[in-house]
A and B are shown apart, each in its own frame.
Chain A
Amino acid sequence: MNIIAQQIAEFLKNYAPFNQLTSEQLAEVASNVRVVSLEKKQTLFKINDTLHDSFYVVASGVVNISVIADAEESIISKLHEGTIFGLRPFFAKNNYKMTAKAREESLVYAIPIAVFKPLLANNSEVLNFLLENFASNLPDDRSSQGNLVSDGLFYTEKQSEAQFFQTLAYNTTPLLATSDNTAQEVAQLMAESLKNNVIIFERNGPIGIVTHADLASKIATGRFPINTPVSNIMSSPVVTVLENVSLAEAQLLMLKNNVTHLCVTIDGTDKSTIKGVISEHDLIAAQASNPGVLIKEIKRSLSSKELKEIRTRLTNLIQSSIQKNIPLTHITNIASEINFAILKRAVELSILDLGSPPARFAWLSIGSQGRKEQLLLTDQDSILVFEDVAQDKYIEVKDYFLKLGKKTTATLEKIGYELCPYGHMGSNMMWCKSLTDWIKQYNNWMNATRENTDNLSSIFFDYELVTGEQKIETAINNIVFENASNNTLFFDFLGNDALRNNAPLSFFKKFLVEEEGIHKDKFDIKTKALMPLIDSARLFTLSYEIKGINNTYTRFKQLAIADPKHAEIYLSCAEAYLFLTKIRTLEGLKNENSGQYINLEELSKIDREKLKNALIPMKELEELIKDKFQLTQFS
């Protein structure tokens, strides 16, 4: 080892993960280093470059890591001395997902993957360090780890900006013609393919565009004969843009240049290959999946068909938001607002049909909808509470509300929310009752739990008003918390309910998968992982009398405040819940189902590890429940 290699080893020794290596391993690494000098603004690798055979450590200077959005580089991290980056070749085969560029004159050490990989095999700590950091997407993680930059693509924006900066989908197979084609030929071409524009090109560069407007104003008016060369009538030059132009930018360009179409080329100039055409219509289509617009449209829609179409767009919005790594809490908030708007509209449509209700009422969502956690199209759960009326009117009123319930659930079914298999819906005789009956029902459930476990489901304790009287919800809220305080029997029931499912991991930390049935060898993420968390969160919030918070994630967050002694457990559960939801949602979106069963084989190794880690806090939570509620009665 020569003196330079020694000095490199000395340098590396100060930083993770190299500090975990033995001095022989370190010497091996250091003597295989390749030193790369970067001038200011020189690029080391950029997005879509094929992977290098090495990863990098900043030796001196500063390197910027950036991603492209809105046709513009946005820097997501500045790397200083000792920071590791470019880990992608370790774990992935596809091209780089980010750009590394020197911010100032810098030196980086390139460490060949081939040299480092053998060290990983017998040093699990180093492997984990790299794995975790490659997998971590969150900026928080980066700051805590200090000197390593994730290669997964993280890019978070405030939600409103994210919509503004969303990239556009546009026509990537535009009609093309040369300048010696006649106007008639071009018009024929447009008519055949039902498009309203043709790009005129010359040696691969666009020189002009002919649209309906040009044909109308120049041919139909008789200013040019029908067989005139198209170059006489085209609008020229055509406004060109880069490939990944954003909605906002496209809009501005159209306004500025007073045009209706933009031509997309490889480098954004009119001297390069044509990639597509953006029309005004593409802009409108892009805006259509903006949450604000969706809610407005829901309010205006008149049939289940329209609502169904909007729900499909919501699914797309959720999908693209997850892909953009917008925090899941934001996505859930937006999605539940839209879901609620749809539910509300469904009730309103029934009222429009049936005439105004004979008494005040409240339509409450229960279960996942009530917790505002519904991202996928899962089944609908709801109850209907109407105010007490004179006895002679009761039958008539109940009849109306049953009809309202049936109509609404039918509408919702058409939209895509399946009926609840257990009949937990406002259309069910049992769950469409007057306020007094409901109060009796809750009293019954909570005080004589043992006899009433048959039709008691914990989902009745997650409710949220969809439409109707706020006062009714408050009344139910009061009765629940009144009954809950110091009600050992009731907490016993809930506690056992929360713990009834088998643990998700075996003693040896292996996933316990389905043993038979059509979901054999898949992991039931809903019953084994999500439900216990949801149930426990509910149990604790009831026992700490935390009112008005239904969402599992926020429940855990609140619990950490209410019970600071165990804050750590609650917080790790909150994070675990988010991650599990994300996995489930992605699975659901992929297979267009509820995502209940996860095919572990299809998960990446990193996700599998993260999933396993997310299941670990559940054990502690279980102990906490057993300890706090001293479960004996039913166990």
Chain B
Amino acid sequence: MLDWLKNINKEHPEFWKEYIAKFSKKTNRYVILSTEATGNSTEKDVITYMSAFAVENDAVMIKDSFETILLQYRFLHDNHLSNEYIIESRILKLSEPEALKTFVEYLGNGIIVGHEIASDMEMINATLERLDCGKLRNDALDIDIMHRKLHELPEDKEFSLEELTEYYKIPSTEGDSTTEKAYKIALLFLKLKFKLGLK
């Protein structure tokens, strides 16, 4: 509530201003997001992996996707972890500020969709704060909640991504990477969106 007060004297980076400006327009672009983090603490833990696919006109746009590994040197160092496996991967690798900047640019004013999206959002917002940015302004949808709504289930009942993909017979992917998770969430979202009759 008092966010704006807290931030009133801060000078936001340029990309953040551009991001804010994008909200003057309405959108029909959904950004299906899946992140990986070292843990649940917004203070101690960091995001290591971000993947996203856009959904437009009821189709997953493979081209319009986002995928990056965040090189968390400080975190790795503090925890005495090795990064050699990460280095071997062919996926785009960026430092935390760079990754978040690219992601925010990619995200724009799209509606965020994810599985238990609240925790992803919290994590991202915490990271953004470190970069002198505000909180994400995007609307967010959670496929778990959509599923509960569709079947009128009690709110405290939670479903894992595995349970949902099984229930909706989503074709399985080869592995279990963040990108594949984002893709599965995207397919689940298409189904739920259709079944709930969202426009």
| Chain A residues near B (Cβ < 8 Å) | 2-5, 7-8, 30-37, 39, 42, 59-60, 105, 107, 110
**Do A4 and B62 touch (CB < 8 A)?**
yes
Tell me, in angstroms, the Cα distance from A5 to B90 when the chains sit together.
Answer: 14
B175 in the interface (beta carbon within 8 A): yes
Interface size range on B against A: 20 to 34
B63's partner among A32, A39, A42 (CB-CB below 8 A) is A32
Secondary structure of the A contact surface, majority rule: mixed
| Chain B residues near A (Cβ < 8 Å) | 51, 53, 58-63, 65, 67, 91, 169, 171, 173-175, 177, 179-180, 183, 186-187, 190-191, 194-195
Tell me, in angstroms, the Cα distance from A332 to B190 when the chains sit together.
Answer: 52
Chain A nearest CB, measured from B147 CB (Å) = 15
Closest to A6 in B: B174
B-chain residues with CB within 8 Å of residue A107 when the two chains form the complex: 171, 187
A31's partner among B60, B63, B179, B180 (CB-CB below 8 A) is B63
* Residue among A2, A30, A36 facing the most chain B CB atoms (10 A cut-off): A2
B60's partner among A3, A35, A39 (CB-CB below 8 A) is A35
**Do B180 and A4 touch (CB < 8 A)?**
yes
Tell me, in angstroms, the Cα distance from A8 to B173 when the chains sit together.
Answer: 10
Tell me, in angstroms, the Cα distance from A7 to B173 when the chains sit together.
Answer: 8
A-B contact pairs, 29 of them (CB 8 A): A2-B51, A2-B62, A2-B179, A3-B173, A3-B174, A3-B180, A4-B65, A4-B173, A4-B179, A4-B180, A4-B183, A5-B62, A7-B174, A30-B62, A31-B62, A31-B63, A32-B63, A34-B61, A34-B62, A35-B60, A36-B60, A36-B190, A37-B58, A39-B194, A39-B195, A59-B171, A105-B169, A105-B191, A107-B171
Tell me, in angstroms, the Cα distance from A110 to B65 when the chains sit together.
Answer: 16
**Do B62 and A32 touch (CB < 8 A)?**
yes
Tell me, in angstroms, the Cα distance from A483 to B61 when the chains sit together.
Answer: 75
A-chain residues with CB within 8 Å of residue B180 when the two chains form the complex: 3-4
> Given contacts A2-B67, A35-B59, A37-B187, could you give 8 more A-B pairs where the C-beta distance is less than 8 Å?
A2-B51, A2-B91, A3-B173, A4-B179, A32-B62, A34-B60, A35-B60, A37-B190
Tell me, in angstroms, the Cα distance from A37 to B171 when the chains sit together.
Answer: 11
A-chain residues with CB within 8 Å of residue B63 when the two chains form the complex: 31-33
B175's partner among A3, A33, A34, A105 (CB-CB below 8 A) is A3
B-chain residues with CB within 8 Å of residue A4 when the two chains form the complex: 53, 62, 65, 173, 179-180, 183
Chain B nearest CB, measured from A392 CB (Å) = 92
* Residue among A4, A33, A59, A107 facing the most chain B CB atoms (10 A cut-off): A4
Closest 8 CB pairs of A and B: A34-B59, A35-B60, A37-B190, A36-B59, A4-B183, A33-B62, A2-B67, A3-B179
B-chain residues with CB within 8 Å of residue A105 when the two chains form the complex: 169, 191
A8's partner among B51, B62, B67, B194 (CB-CB below 8 A) is B62
Closest to A109 in B: B62
Tell me, in angstroms, the Cα distance from A460 to B118 when the chains sit together.
Answer: 90
Closest to B67 in A: A2
Chain B nearest CB, measured from A28 CB (Å) = 10
Secondary structure of the B contact surface, majority rule: mixed
Closest to A105 in B: B169
Closest to B193 in A: A37
Closest to A32 in B: B63
**Do B191 and A39 touch (CB < 8 A)?**
yes
Closest to B66 in A: A2
A-chain residues with CB within 8 Å of residue B174 when the two chains form the complex: 3, 7
Chain B nearest CB, measured from A168 CB (Å) = 37
**Do A3 and B171 touch (CB < 8 A)?**
no
**Do A42 and B194 touch (CB < 8 A)?**
yes
Tell me, in angstroms, the Cα distance from A59 to B59 when the chains sit together.
Answer: 13
A35's partner among B67, B91, B169, B186 (CB-CB below 8 A) is B186
Known: A2-B179, A4-B180. A35 touches B173 (CB 8 A): no
Chain A nearest CB, measured from B168 CB (Å) = 8
A-chain residues with CB within 8 Å of residue B67 when the two chains form the complex: 2
Closest to B60 in A: A35
**Do A2 and B187 touch (CB < 8 A)?**
no
Chain A nearest CB, measured from B90 CB (Å) = 9
Tell me, in angstroms, the Cα distance from A2 to B60 when the chains sit together.
Answer: 14
A-chain residues with CB within 8 Å of residue B179 when the two chains form the complex: 2-4
Closest to B194 in A: A39
Chain B nearest CB, measured from A114 CB (Å) = 12
Chain A nearest CB, measured from B133 CB (Å) = 26
Chain B nearest CB, measured from A530 CB (Å) = 49
Tell me, in angstroms, the Cα distance from A34 to B55 when the chains sit together.
Answer: 9
Chain B nearest CB, measured from A116 CB (Å) = 14
Tell me, in angstroms, the Cα distance from A59 to B170 when the chains sit together.
Answer: 12
Tell me, in angstroms, the Cα distance from A567 to B116 when the chains sit together.
Answer: 68
A-chain residues with CB within 8 Å of residue B191 when the two chains form the complex: 37, 39, 105
Chain B nearest CB, measured from A9 CB (Å) = 10
Tell me, in angstroms, the Cα distance from A83 to B58 when the chains sit together.
Answer: 21
Tell me, in angstroms, the Cα distance from A602 to B187 when the chains sit together.
Answer: 46
Known: A2-B65, A35-B186. A60 touches B59 (CB 8 A): no
A-chain residues with CB within 8 Å of residue B51 when the two chains form the complex: 2
B-chain residues with CB within 8 Å of residue A7 when the two chains form the complex: 173-174
**Do A36 and B58 touch (CB < 8 A)?**
yes
B-chain residues with CB within 8 Å of residue A8 when the two chains form the complex: 62
A-chain residues with CB within 8 Å of residue B91 when the two chains form the complex: 2
Chain A nearest CB, measured from B24 CB (Å) = 27
B-chain residues with CB within 8 Å of residue A39 when the two chains form the complex: 191, 194-195
Tell me, in angstroms, the Cα distance from A292 to B6 when the chains sit together.
Answer: 91
Tell me, in angstroms, the Cα distance from A8 to B183 when the chains sit together.
Answer: 12
Tell me, in angstroms, the Cα distance from A70 to B185 when the chains sit together.
Answer: 42
A-chain residues with CB within 8 Å of residue B59 when the two chains form the complex: 34-36, 110
Closest to B168 in A: A105
Chain B nearest CB, measured from A18 CB (Å) = 15
A-chain residues with CB within 8 Å of residue B61 when the two chains form the complex: 34
Chain A nearest CB, measured from B30 CB (Å) = 13
Chain B nearest CB, measured from A111 CB (Å) = 10
B-chain residues with CB within 8 Å of residue A5 when the two chains form the complex: 62
**Do A35 and B62 touch (CB < 8 A)?**
yes
